């Protein structure tokens, strides 16, 4: 009898077509789920009777309660090699192997610049006006050349965002709690003396930090108040790093020129969420990692993980 594998959160219905699953299909039946599993109850009901689950990024939490309600589960494959919503201790207690995959930093870098440029040149309102018979030219674009790009975080993604900023002729500054001058010199940018200095002096502020206790709520009302009224904030990292209520208040009050975000406190975003109607906010549905090449890596290595597990030699173990 074949094992049963659930591939969840396959919103685009591409999981089984972007890669070849034939290395495991003799032993495993693949079932895809295109709807979001929003609660433990929904996940427990949908995944009951499955031996393997492939989950995408951190969309669906796997707390202890869920593991307890999935007695057949033996392998959980999560895209990426870091996951904050899986209870690894509970997985071990219930005999569930957890494995990961590689993940490219290229897609979030590219999306960061898509959002930044979209904000700077008013792409969405101008394109909407053109298609709906609105005014011909209603915005005044913000220039990049000679302006200051402030990066909160200069890791793998932040450093690549910095290189693009430099190519645009921007002055790039960076800050994080443990950032050193050696690192900024290596990337070719300036080390800001403090978070406050970066916020006060930047025309564009982009967030590239991991979420943790020290970064949760890092940008709140006080920090937003330090930004220039002509400045823009971009967050493609984690929603909780920026206080959403404070950001929406600043945008509604016009105290900053605009913001872009690809991440939200609740995903998918509820239909009545004020984010959907806040002015000067460019929002995308967590597309940072959603690219063909990245999906080929995620699902291709998920197949490898399953095959290795079936062969008794699990690879890319997490937790």
Q: Is 208 a catalytic residue?
A: no
Give the largest Cα separation in the chain, rounded.
65
Check 147, 160, 208, 286 and give the catalytic one.
286
Q: Is 9 a catalytic residue?
A: no
Check 29, 267, 280, 296 and give the catalytic one.
267
Check 9, 223, 238, 304 and give the catalytic one.
238
Q: How far apart are CA 285 and CA 111, in angstroms?
A: 11
CB proximity list for 154: less than 8 A, separation 6 or greater: 162, 174, 176, 179, 183, 184, 187, 189, 208
| DSSP summary character for residue 82 | -
Give 110's Cβ-side CA count (13 Å radius). 10
Residue 29: helix, strand or coil by DSSP? Answer: strand
Helix, strand and coil content of the chain, in percent to the nearest 5, comes to: 35, 15, 45
| DSSP summary character for residue 316 | S
Q: Is 131 a catalytic residue?
A: no
**Contact between 7 and 25 (Cβ < 8 Å):** no
Q: Bridge partners of 148?
A: 171
Annotated catalytic residues are 238, 267, 286
């Amino acid at each position: 009898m074949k094992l049963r594998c659930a591939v969840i959160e396959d919103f685009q219905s591409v999981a089984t077509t972007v890669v070849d699953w034939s290395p495991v299909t003799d032993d495993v039946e693949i079932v895809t789920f295109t709807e979001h599993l929003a609660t433990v109850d929904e996940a427990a009901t949908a995944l009951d009777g499955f031996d393997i689950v492939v989950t995408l990024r951190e969309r669906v939490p796997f707390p202890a309660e869920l593991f307890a309600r999935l007695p057949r589960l033996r392998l959980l494959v999560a895209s990426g090699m870091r996951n904050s919503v899986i209870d690894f201790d509970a997985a071990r207690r219930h005999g569930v192997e957890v494995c990961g995959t590689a993940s490219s930093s290229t897609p979030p870098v590219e999306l960061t610049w898509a959002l930044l440029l979209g904000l700077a040149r008013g792409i969405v309102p101008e394109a909407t006006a053109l298609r709906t018979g609105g005014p011909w030219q209603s915005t005044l674009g913000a220039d990049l050349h000679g302006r200051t790009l402030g990066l909160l975080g200069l890791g793998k993604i932040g450093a690549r965002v910095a290189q693009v900023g430099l190519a645009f002729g921007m002055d790039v500054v960076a800050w994080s709690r443990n950032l050193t001058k050696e690192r900024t010199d290596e990337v070719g940018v300036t080390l800001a003396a403090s978070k406050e200095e970066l916020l006060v002096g930047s025309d564009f502020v982009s967030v590239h930090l991991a979420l943790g206790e020290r970064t949760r709520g890092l940008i709140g009302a006080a920090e937003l108040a330090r930004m220039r009224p002509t400045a823009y904030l971009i967050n493609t990292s984690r929603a909780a790093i920026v206080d959403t209520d404070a950001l929406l208040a600043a945008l509604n009050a016009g105290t900053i020129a605009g913001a872009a975000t690809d991440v939200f406190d609740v995903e998918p975003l509820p239909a009545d969420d004020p984010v959907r109607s806040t002015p000067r906010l460019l929002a995308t549905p967590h597309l940072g990692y959603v690219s063909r090449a990245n999906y080929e890596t995620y699902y291709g290595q998920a197949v490898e993980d399953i095959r290795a597990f079936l062969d008794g030699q699990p690879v890319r173990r997490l937790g």
